[in-house]
Structure 1
Amino acid sequence: MNSIQTEDGSNTLFSSKYNQHYHNINDGAIFETLTKHVIPAFMFHNDKEELNILDICFGLGYNTLATIYYIKKNNLKTKVKIYSPELNKELIDSLKKFSYPNEFKELSNIINELSNKYHYEDEDITIFIYIGNAREYLKNLNVKFDIIYQDAFSSDVNKELWTKEYFDLLFKLSYKNTIITTYAVATPVRLSMNEAGFIIYQYRPHKKKQTLAFIRKQDIIGKYVDMKLKKQRNTTATAIYDKELLLDN
């Protein structure tokens, strides 16, 4: 497991299966996690005492760990339950040996527990890691989520976690005020989300744009994107559908 240092000094890995890094090298692993996922999610849910969070997919665990770090750093009273599927069992088993940033130093006991048992629990934090196929996991979940970190590898290499049918699963697991955060801004991805029932917003936490999605309109964070108008202006743009997975195989 050869760590790769990112722009902010935190480390990531390269996936040979998907031919992509787990994080944007130029943004920095922890910077990307906080600005694209944790901060906008907690900005939207700034008054909740308890949050259910779905972290797609666990990977190196930055989204989950940064959530806990953010709560502790800001002395929030928020209790969280985090559910996260991950296909790569060997990766999870190896996390206790990974070189995490100093921000996660106080979370080493949590990292070790997750790496050994795929589960952690105390008075305020519960984390479940599911080893296996994310979509099968979602089909059998009987939980609704306040926050969904949509952070799978890109639709170019991991299309099954960006189709309209996949977002149908997320829609069923969402409350009326759920927020989905994702780095993806491609029109086909946004159309997949929109056709599943989500309303799309654009958000720019730093230099790069990203996507936020909700079930109903809101005026707290992001700029509304009229997907109907976008489709009228770009008549060749289409959502991503499960049928394309068969063609890829």
Structure 2
Amino acid sequence: MQRKIITTADGSKTIQIEEWNEQYHSIHGAIQEANHVYIKHGLLFCFDILAGLRPVLKSEDSLNENSRNLSVLEIGFGTGLNCFLTLLEAEKHTVDIQYCGVEAFPISAEEMEALNYVEELQVNERKHVFDQLHLSAWEHDVPLTPHFKLQKQQKLFKDITAKNQFDLIYFDAFGARVQPELWTESIFRIMFDALKTKGVLVTYAAKGSVRRAMQDVGFSVEKLPGPPGKREMLRATKGDDLPF
């Protein structure tokens, strides 16, 4: 399938699949979208829980506010933008993160070099780290910084078998318009099972059918203001009650 690099509204680049007219990130701003959906409403939300700013269920397999570590699963590793932003936040907040990025069709070295996230974020000293995100071996734990360890897995989302393993899921699959099979009850059951109790899933999507599929497998779901170009997004929690 033909892919090309395009520039989004905030100046950051993304990859477009021309046949589908679908992008890896929002055309209204790749970095803006990633920061709003996955960092602000996902990662930093969980950091608040760790810091004790929001109450969590007290149980052995739930998020522990006394700990300073998180396990994150990304559905659609893609350009590595969400991963890179998470790594930067891990270092800033001194939280240890074990990050698992699942991707069936990795981008090429040429596509990686064409992305401009390091320059747009003004972190040129981290260029080698961004490159290593993509060039590191698949299926192995790779320490990238003192607080960030990455494992990339090349597989289809339906083949994920993790159970009670992750605190946070970034659900960043291609949209339901082009890949409706990725937004079904069967996929969200896999996500639900992969999360720990009180674990959190965030996604840019807000369709009613997506929200209902999440609820049908047991998630508690809330609508939040969306990133530029979208009115709403969804955040789901594994459990009967939201963690605040």
- TM bucket normalised to smaller: 0.7 to 0.9
| Identity percentage of aligned residues | 23
Residues 1:17 and 1:57: Cα distance change in structure 2 (over 3 Å):
farther
Residue 134 of structure 1 corresponds to which residue in structure 2?
157
Provide the rounded CA distance (Å) in 2 between the counterparts of 1:165 and 1:15.
25
Q: What code does the residue aligned with 2:71 have? A: N
Name the SS of the counterpart of 2:234 in structure 1: strand
Shift of 1:71: 3.2
Unpaired runs of at least 5, structure 1: 221-249
CA deviation profile, 1:177-206 (whole Å, cap 9, x unmatched): 211111111111111111111011011155
In structure 2, relative to structure 1, the CA distance for the partners of 1:211 and 1:22 (3 Å cut) is same
Q: Distance in 2 between matches of 1:17 and 1:144?
A: 36
Which residue among 107, 110, 118 is the counterpart of 2:126? 107
Query: Is the 8 Å Cα contact of residues 80 and 133 (structure 2) preserved in structure 1?
Result: no
Equivalent in 19, 22, 29 of residue 21 of structure 2: 19
**2:189 matches 1:168:** yes
Is the 1:18–1:153 Cα contact (8 Å) retained in structure 2?
no
Separation (CA, whole Å) in 2 of partners of 1:126 and 1:33: 20
Counterpart contact for 2:163–2:195, Cα < 8 Å: no
Taking the aligned partners of 2:124 and 2:35, their CA distance within structure 1 comes to 16
Alignment partner of 1:188 out of 202, 209, 218 = 209
* 1:29 to 2:30 alignment: yes
Contact kept in structure 2, 1:178 and 1:214, CA below 8 Å: yes
The answer to which structure, 1 or 2, has the higher relative contact order (CA under 8 A, 6+ apart) is: 2
| Residue pairs, 1:34-53, within 5 angstroms | 34-45=35-46, 46=48, 47=50, 48-53=67-72
CA distance in 1 between partners of 2:104 and 2:166 (Å): 21
CA deviation digits over 1:88-120, x for unaligned, max 9? 13x154454133222253332222223223453
1:157 and 2:181 correspond: no
The CA distance in 1 between the partners of 2:26 and 2:183, in whole Å, is: 19
Equivalence for 2:242? 218
Between Structure 1 and Structure 2, how many residues are aligned? 214
CA distance, structure 1, for counterparts of residue 35 and residue 104 of structure 2: 23
Distance 1:142 1:109, change over 3 A: farther
Q: Give me the TM-score of the superposition, normalised by structure 1.
A: 0.78
Pick one of 84, 108, 113 that aligns with 2:101: 84
For 1:41, the aligned partner's letter is G
Q: Name the CA shift for 1:106/1:92 in 2 (closer, same or farther; >3 Å).
A: farther
